[in-house]
Structure 1
Amino acid sequence: MAWLILIVSGAFEAVWATALGRSEGFTRLWPTVTFFSALIVSMAGLAYAMRELPTGTSYAVWVAIGASLTVIYAMASGAESVSVWKIVFLLGIIGCVIGLKVAN
């Protein structure tokens, strides 16, 4: 259960990171509300997962999921360019996260 919560909280990290960019310095209401809501859910999920999982592994997986999904969303929405190297490195991050799960 801790792994599932960690994965979901990592996805919420991508939500708050994207909302933070769209909030334009907290001057836009709904992106700001989305940022703080997703931040609370993301941090609470990380904290819960860390009760059962090692801190280093939990944090690394959480960051990797959030960062990967943030970049994937930005590329899919056209906010960021797509390149073969970006995809290769994202697959590397995802592979490392899977490795941390397998090694745990």
Structure 2
Amino acid sequence: MSWVYLVMAGLLEVGWAVGLKYTAGFTRLWPSVFTLVTMAGSVGMLGLALRQLPLGTAYAVWTGIGTIGTAIAGMVLLHEPAGALRLLAIAMIAGGIVGLKLLSPA
């Protein structure tokens, strides 16, 4: 169950990172509410995952999921560049996450 919490935490991290773009410096109410709620949810789920998982592994996977998801969301939603080298870098991050999962004791 810890890995489920961790994946959910990572996905919520994507939500707040993307939401932050739409808050206009926290001057827009609903994007700001969404961002703050997803921030709290992300950290809360990370805390639940840390009950069983090693800190280094959990934090690296959490930020990795957030990094991959946010980069992809930026490409899809905000039309950021999606060049081959950028996609390769994202794939390498994903490979690191898979490696951490396979080597994790929990």
TM-score range, shorter chain: over 0.9
Q: Deviations over 1:33-68 (max 9, x none)?
A: 010010111000000000100001000000000111
What's the CA shift for 1:79? Answer: 3.3
Q: How does 1:1-104 map to 2 (within 5 A)?
A: 1-104=1-104
Q: How far apart, in 2, do the equivalents of 1:35 and 1:79 lie?
A: 21
Q: Give SS of 1:82's match.
A: coil
Assess, with a 3 A threshold, how the Cα gap between structure 1 residues 79 and 31 changes in structure 2: closer, same or farther. farther
Which amino acid letter does the alignment assign opposite residue 86 of structure 2? Answer: K
Which amino acid letter does the alignment assign opposite residue 41 of structure 1? Answer: G
Give me the TM-score of the superposition, normalised by structure 1. 0.97
Which consecutive unaligned segments of at least 5 residues does structure 1 have? none
Q: How far apart, in 2, do the equivalents of 1:5 and 1:47 lie?
A: 9
Which amino acid letter does the alignment assign opposite residue 13 of structure 1? Answer: E
Which consecutive unaligned segments of at least 5 residues does structure 2 have? none
Structure 1 vs Structure 2: percent identity of aligned residues?
A: 38
RMSD (CA atoms): 0.8
Runs of 4+ in 1 over 4 A off after TM superposition: none
Give me the TM-score of the superposition, normalised by structure 2. 0.95
